[in-house]
């Protein structure tokens, strides 16, 4: 298990699931372990549709969520992000938004000065988490 030595980023993801899929950490862990062959879920936290925050990968461990920043970031995944038409959609619940704000603020107390970013900021082929994290967290217009 690789230990993360430095943390300067919090990366927001989505599970890319439809609004009626009430899944959580265990389902995502199964996808990552059985389908991808990883040793654990790639995210440090998963936020369910009802706002429940589940801890995934141990916080001290390097994530498996975005190769460019795994070694220096913590990953938070929101369940949802896919519309009924199977296209990206910002369909997160009020409970999830509240839990996301709480979780990010908690992580910022542990890792002061960390940048909060969306997965889509690192890959042109990703729309995840299906909203602009810069606009949500910093009030900035999407780049």
Which one is catalytic: 32, 44, 65, 119?
119
Measuring CA to CA, which residue among 61, 84, 91 is closest to residue 74? 61
Is-catalytic flag, 130? no
How many CA atoms lie within 13 Å of 76's alpha carbon, on the beta-carbon side? 25
Closest to 129 in 3D by CA, of 55, 94, 77, 64: 77
**Which of 14, 77, 128, 130 is labelled catalytic?**
128
| Catalytic residue list contains 135 | no
Nearest-angstrom CA–CA distance, 76 and 44: 6
Cα distance between residue 125 and residue 10, in whole Å: 20
Q: Does the active-site annotation cover 138?
A: no
User: Is 32 assigned a catalytic role?
Assistant: no
Question: Before 40, cis peptide (omega within 30)?
Answer: no
Which one of 14, 32, 43, 65 is the catalytic residue?
43
The one catalytic residue in 13, 32, 44, 65 is 13
Residue 58 three-state SS: coil
Catalytic (active-site) positions: 13, 43, 119, 126, 128
């Amino acid at each position: 298990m690789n230990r993360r030595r430095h943390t300067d980023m919090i990366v927001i993801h989505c599970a890319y699931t439809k609004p009626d899929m009430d899944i959580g950490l265990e389902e995502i862990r199964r996808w990552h372990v059985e389908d991808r062959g990883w040793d654990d879920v790639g995210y440090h936290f998963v936020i369910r549709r009802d706002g429940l925050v589940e801890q995934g990968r141990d916080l001290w461990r390097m994530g498996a969520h975005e190769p460019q920043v795994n070694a220096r970031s913590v990953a938070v995944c929101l369940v949802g992000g896919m519309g009924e038409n199977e296209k990206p959609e910002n369909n997160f619940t009020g409970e999830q938004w509240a839990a996301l704000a709480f979780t990010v603020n908690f992580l910022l107390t542990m890792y002061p000065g960390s940048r909060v970013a969306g997965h889509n900021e690192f890959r042109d082929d990703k729309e995840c988490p299906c909203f602009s994290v810069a606009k949500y967290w910093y009030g900035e217009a999407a780049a």
